[in-house]
Amino acid sequence: MSGITRPRGTQDLLPDGSPKLEVQFSARGHRHLVELAARVLENAGAQYIQTPMFEMVEVIKRGVGDSTDIVRKEMFTAKAQSDEFILRPEGTAPIVRAFVQNGLKQLPSPAKLWTFGAMFRAERPQKGRYRQFHQLDYEVLGSDDPLVDAEAIALMMQVIDRLGVKKIELKLGSVGDPEDRVQYNQYLRDLFTPHAERLSEDSKDRLVLNPMRILDSKSEGDQQIIAELQPKMMLDHLGEGASAHFQQVCAYLTAWGIPFTVDPSIVRGLDYYRRTAWEIHHEGVGAKSALGGGGRYDGLAELLGGPHTPGIGWAFGIERLLIAMDAEGVKLPEPEGLLLYVGALEEAALGQAAQLAFGARSLGKADFSYKAKAPGKQIQDALKKNARFVALIGSSEMEQGVVTLKNLSTGEQSTIPQTDLLSKLQ
Ligand code: HAM
């Protein structure tokens, strides 16, 4: 193709049978995950919401946070005349913006919402890390009850369980309340400042903006300094409120038999988090990349100009879920075969064969042959399409207003009036 390709880090989601189809870009796989998550989340009372693909820059800068990699390095901006926008890098800040702007506080509280869709981050592309990727996202607004946190985590695990993925690890921590963070960041600043010269350029900035993010640094040099200094973790700096909240979340999960590891080093890559924060990891996706993650964000609505509205949520990367399924050999469910295949035996019957298939589509999948063929050939084609019934029609059937209907699993065959076809299929 004369140099016209899709941009790096993006992908076409393709139908089954496409040559070189990679599992994480299977259109059917994406759809399966969305439908499965929709069932799990809607059974738990969540409602579907969708926000625009692009937002005002301020929503993301304020919401996600100025010190994050997402805002500092990975923003996709879009220009229209003199206006500048940002392609959404995640779903939470846009949903909270929509919640505030549309007065969704009126909904029964807490409001449970879910969405899915493309997100955009200008990262360096590699397997499992793309510039356009897709998330499944669940958010609960209006409660800071630890039971809501535990339920959110349980729902995330239920999605994993329904998918059939097993080898996961749930890493749970707490990033404390803002006042705990101020204290902890001061502790880190005091600890790292004498070594500032050795830190990466990014971490020098982090030392000023948000020292906690140094712990999350991808630089090997930074990780070596961290290993030397052995900083105490946020979890050891929780205030009473955050600590009691965290214990309660852990107690619910334990009571429900949901296995988790307390991970004091959880930092998360977004600034809005408070208290509960977690990630789900899978060995097939790689140690540095999570299958999904989430946390509480009680101050986000206020940052976006709304009233105080506690919130919590999570997101999975759809491509990464598909990679994890593939790594464990979990297959996607086979697509349902045809209910009916209609084959014309002579050219004159092609139009009527098509029309019979159109009618049967009110009951299920139905298709027809675009070419007239001998009965044996039509039956072969029907079998290839995994059809349950095949109907054959030629000029004599047309004259008599009948059709030959064969049940392909029992071999039973009869000639029936065309007007009876739907009731027979039913
Ligand atoms: P996040 O950890 O930035 O959190 O992203 C959630 C998931 O999206 C990741 O665990 C990963 O599976 C997937 N993901 C992120 N970046 C990429 C990428 N470049 N390529 C492929 N997959 C990626 C959030 O976005 C939060 N909004 C989650 C949340 C919801 N917190 C509270 N509510």
Question: 92 CB less than 6 Å from ligand 1?
Answer: yes
Q: In sequence order, what are the residues at sequence separation of 6 or more whose Cβ sits closer than 8 angstroms to the Cβ of residue 276?
A: 146, 149, 172, 173, 174, 245, 246, 249, 295, 296, 312
The predicted pLDDT at position 209 comes to 87
255 lies in a domain? Answer: yes
- How many angstroms is it from 316 CA to the middle of ligand 1? 6
Confirm or reject: Cβ of 319 under 6 Å from ligand 1.
yes
Contact 184, 244 (CB under 8 A): no
What does the alpha-carbon distance between residue 250 and residue 233 come to, in Å, rounded to a whole number?
18
The pTM for the full model equals 0.94
Could you tell me which of 105, 38, 112 has the C-alpha nearest to residue 316?
38
**How many domains are there within the chain?**
2
* CB of 130 shorter than 6 A to ligand 1: yes
> Is residue 358 in some structural domain?
yes
> What is the pairing mode between strands 132-141 and 111-120?
antiparallel
Tell whether ligand 1 has an atom less than 6 A from the beta carbon of residue 271.
no
Task: Indicate which CATH number applies to the domain containing 396.
Answer: 3.40.50.800
344 and 264 in a single domain? The answer is no
Domain assignment of residue 391, given as a range:
340-425
416 lies in the same domain as 299: no
Q: Are residues 79 and 51 in the same domain?
A: yes
Q: What is the pLDDT of residue 199?
A: 94
Instruction: Tell me the backbone φ, ψ of residue 390, rounded to 5 degrees.
Output: -125, 135
Are 300 and 346 in a shared domain?
no
Q: 203 — phi, psi (to 5°)?
A: -75, -25
Nearest Cα residue to atom 11 of ligand 1:
317
Task: Give me the residue label for tokens 């509480």.
Answer: 296
Helix axes 178-192, 201-209, angle to 10 degrees: 140
Q: Clarify whether residues 96 and 149 are in a common domain.
A: yes
What is the model's pLDDT at position 288?
76
138 within ligand 1 shell (Cβ under 6 A): no
| Residue at token pair 């209910």 | 339
Q: Is the CB of 121 under 6 A from ligand 1?
A: yes
Could you tell me if residue 335 is inside a domain?
Answer: no
Of 133, 144, 281, the residue with max ligand 1 atoms within 8 A of its CB, to mutate for a pocket test, comes to 133
Contact present, 110 and 148 (Cβ < 8 Å):
yes
Residue 145 lies in a domain: yes
Instruction: Assess whether the C-beta atom of 274 lies below 6 angstroms from ligand 1.
Output: no
Amino acid at position 146, single letter: P
Predicted confidence at residue 7, as pLDDT, reads 96
Last residue of a domain, one of 272, 303, 327: 327
Hey, whose CA ends up nearest to atom 14 of ligand 1? 317
Please tell me whether residues 360 and 288 are part of one structural domain: no
Q: Is any ligand 1 atom within 6 A of the Cβ of residue 91? A: yes
The ligand 1 atom nearest the CA atom of 285: 12
Taking Cα atoms as reference points, which of 385, 384, 379 lies closest to residue 365? 385
| C-beta 149 within 6 A of ligand 1 | no
Q: Is residue 93 part of a domain?
A: yes
Backbone angles phi, psi at 85, to 5 degrees: -125, 175
The 3-class SS string of the chain reads CCCCCCCCCCCCCECCCCCCCCHHHEHHHHHHHHHHHHHHHHHCCCEECCCCCEEEHHHHHHHHCCCCHHHHHCCCEEEECCEEEEECCCCHHHHHHHHHHCCHHHCCCCEEEEEEEEEECCCCCECCECCEEEEEEEEEECCCCHHHHHHHHHHHHHHHHHHCCCCEEEEEEECCCHHHHHHHHHHHHHHHHHHHHHCCHHHHHHHHHCHHHHHHCCCHHHHHHHHHHCCCCHHHHCCHHHHHHHHHHHHHHHHCCCCCEECCCCCCCCCCCEEEEEEEEECCCCCCCCCEEEEECCCHHHHCCCCCCCEEEEEEEHHHHHHHHHHCCCCCCCCCCCCEEEEECCHHHHHHHHHHHHHHCCCCCEEECCCCCCHHHHHHHHHHCCCCEEEEECHHHHHHCEEEEEECCCCCEEEEEHHHHHHHHC
Is 394 among the domain residues?
yes
Is 74 a pocket residue for ligand 1 (Cβ < 6 Å)? no
Do 374 and 287 have their domain in common?
no
Q: Could you tell which of 71, 169, 320 is best to mutate to test the pocket of ligand 1, judged by most ligand atoms within 8 Å of the CB?
A: 320
* Residue at a domain's end among 270, 304, 327: 327
Give yes or no: residues 368 and 310 share one domain: no
Task: Please give the average pLDDT of every successive group of 10 residues along the chain, which has 426 residues.
Answer: 87 94 96 98 98 97 90 94 96 98 96 98 94 98 98 98 96 95 93 94 90 88 94 92 97 98 89 95 86 97 96 98 96 94 97 97 97 97 96 96 96 96 94
Q: Are residues 311 and 346 in the same domain?
A: no
- Asked if the structure places residue 70 within a domain, the reply is yes
Are 87 and 167 members of one domain? yes
102 and 248 together in one domain: yes
Q: Measured in angstroms, how far is the CA atom of residue 90 from the centroid of ligand 1?
A: 7
135 in ligand 1 pocket by Cβ < 6 Å? yes
Ligand 1 neighbour 205 (Cβ under 6 A): no
Distance 292 CA to ligand 1 centre (A): 6
Question: Angle, to 10 degrees, between the axis of helix 178-192 and the axis of helix 220-229?
Answer: 90
Yes or no: say if 75 and 69 are a contact pair by the CB < 8 Å rule.
no
Given 299, 327, 355, the domain boundary residue is 327
Same domain, 254 and 396: no
Here the CATH number for the domain that contains residue 289 is 3.30.930.10
Question: Which residues on adjacent β-strands are paired with residue 416?
Answer: 403
Q: Please give the distance, rounded to the nearest whole angstrom, from the Cα atom of residue 249 to the centre of ligand 1.
A: 22
Note whether residue 133 is domain-resident.
yes
Distance 71 CA to ligand 1 centre (A): 14
156 lines ligand 1 (CB under 6 A): no
Token digits of residue 200: 């990466």
